[in-house]
Amino acid sequence: MSSTLTLDQIRQPVARDMELFEDKFRAAMRSRVPLLDRITHYIVKRKGKQIRPLFVFLSAGMMKEVTESTHRGAALVELLHTATLVHDDVVDDAYERRGFFSINALWKNKIAVLVGDYLLSKGLLLSLENKEFHLLEITSDAVRRMSEGELLQIEKARRLDITEEVYFEIISNKTASLIASCCAVGVASVYNEPSLVEKARRFGEKVGLAFQIKDDLLDLGNDPTGKTKGVDIQEKKMTLPLIHALEKSDQREKKHIIGLIKNHSHKREKVAEVVRFIQDKGGIAYADMTMRKLQKEAEELLNDFPENTFRESLRQLVAFTVNRNK
C-alpha cells in the first residue's frame, strides 16, 4: 500500500479488542477511595489516540490469536505509561496534558504523585495476580529506562551540550523503551519465544526513536494545529535538528545560538532566529533523513514475522507515526 492509512483503518484487524480494552482498562483503574476513583475517571475520559495498546494487540495478533493475557499486557503497559505521564507533569511543572488540565493542576503535586504511585502498583498487581512475570519483567525494564532517560536529560540539559550520541541514549530510554515494551509484551503474551520477543522489542525501539524525531520536526514545522513553533527551544530542549545544526557550526555561531536559547528563549523573534539557523544548517533535512532510515530498519525487522493483515497494519502504523502532522 502506498498511501498512509488513517488510524481507524490501521485499527481494523483489532477494532473489537480495542473496544473491549477500554472497559478492561477502566476496571483495572477502579478504586474504593472516592477521590482516587474521581481522578482515574478523569484520566480515562481524556485518553489520547491509544497508540500503545494498538501496538500490543497488533504485535500479538501477528503471531497468534489475541488472548486475555494480551489484554492484561495492554492494560499493564497503559497503567505504567499513565503513571509516568502523571509523574512527568509534576517533574515538568506542566499544567496541561492533551489540551486538558493535568492532574497536578487540578489536585496539586502531592495528590498527583500518589495517583502515579497508585497506577504503578495497580499495574504490578495485575501481572502478579495472574503470574505473568515475563510481561512484568518487560514493562518494569521500560519504566527503569524511562526514569534513567528523564534523569539523564535533566543532568545534561543544564549545559546545553548534548551530542547526538547522548541524544539517542536519552530518547531511546525516555520514548522508545515504552513502544519497544508494547511490541515485546504483545508477542510474549501469545508466543513466549525469547528470540522473537527480542526482535519485536527491537522493532518497537526503532519506531519509538522515529516517533520522537518526528515530534522534534513537528515543533519546527508549519503546524496545522496552530501551535507556536519552537516550543522545544523555549523550554531549552535539545532536539536532533538543533544538535546537528550546532555540530555544523563554528565556535562563534555555536556560542551565539546557545546564548539565545539560554537567555532569550522567551522572546519570539529570538526563537524564530534559532529556527532559521536550524533550517539553514540542514538540521531539519538531517533529522528527516535519520527518521526515514529508522522507519526502513523497523520495516525490515517486520519481514521476519508471519505475513498477515496484522503485520501489514503494523507497517502502516509505522508509516502513520512518521507521516502524522500532530
Per-residue pLDDT reduced to its tens digit, 28-74: 888 888 888 888 877 777 766 788 999 999 999 999 999 999 999 99
The pLDDT assigned to 225 comes to 43
> How large is the C-alpha radius of gyration of the chain?
20
| pLDDT range class, residue 226, cuts 50, 70, 90 | very low
Whether residue 77 has pLDDT greater than 70: yes
Question: So what's the pLDDT on residue 222?
Answer: 52
Higher pLDDT, 162 or 240: 240
Closest residue by Cα to residue 209 from 186, 238, 180, 188? 180
Q: In angstroms, rounded to a whole number, what is the distance separating the alpha carbons of residues 187 and 246?
A: 40
Judged against a pLDDT cut of 50, whether residue 224 lies above it is answered with: no
pTM of the model: 0.89
pLDDT at 229 over 80: no
Q: Cell match 493542576: residue?
A: 105
User: CB atoms < 10 A from the CB of 285, how many?
Assistant: 12
**pLDDT at position 2, please?**
47
Three-state SS annotation for the chain: CCCCCCHHHHHHHHHHHHHHHHHHHHHHHCCCCHHHHHHHHHHHHCCCCCHHHHHHHHHHHHHCCCCHHHHHHHHHHHHHHHHHHHHHHHHHCCCEECCEECHHHHHHHHHHHHHHHHHHHHHHHHHHHCCCHHHHHHHHHHHHHHHHHHHHHHHHHCCCCCCHHHHHHHHHHHHHHHHHHHHHHHHHHHCCCHHHHHHHHHHHHHHHHHHHHHHHHHCCCCCCCCCCCCHHHHCCCCCHHHHHHHHCCCHHHHHHHHHHHHHHCCCHHHHHHHHHHHHHCCHHHHHHHHHHHHHHHHHHHHCCCCCCHHHHHHHHHHHHHHHCCC
Topology, domain 7-308? Farnesyl Diphosphate Synthase (1.10.600)
Kindly list the domain boundaries of the chain, sorted by start residue.
Answer: 7-308
What local confidence, expressed as pLDDT, does residue 237 receive? Answer: 85
Contacts of 268 (CB under 8 A, 6+ apart): none
Q: Tell whether the model's pLDDT for residue 315 goes beyond 90.
A: yes
Average pLDDT over residues 83-112: 76
State yes or no: pLDDT of 87 exceeds 80: no
Per-residue confidence band for 208, with pLDDT thresholds at 50, 70 and 90: very high
- Beta 96-97 vs 100-101: how paired, if at all? antiparallel
- Indicate whether 6 pLDDT > 70: yes
Report which listed range, 9-13, 206-210, 249-253, is most confident. Answer: 206-210
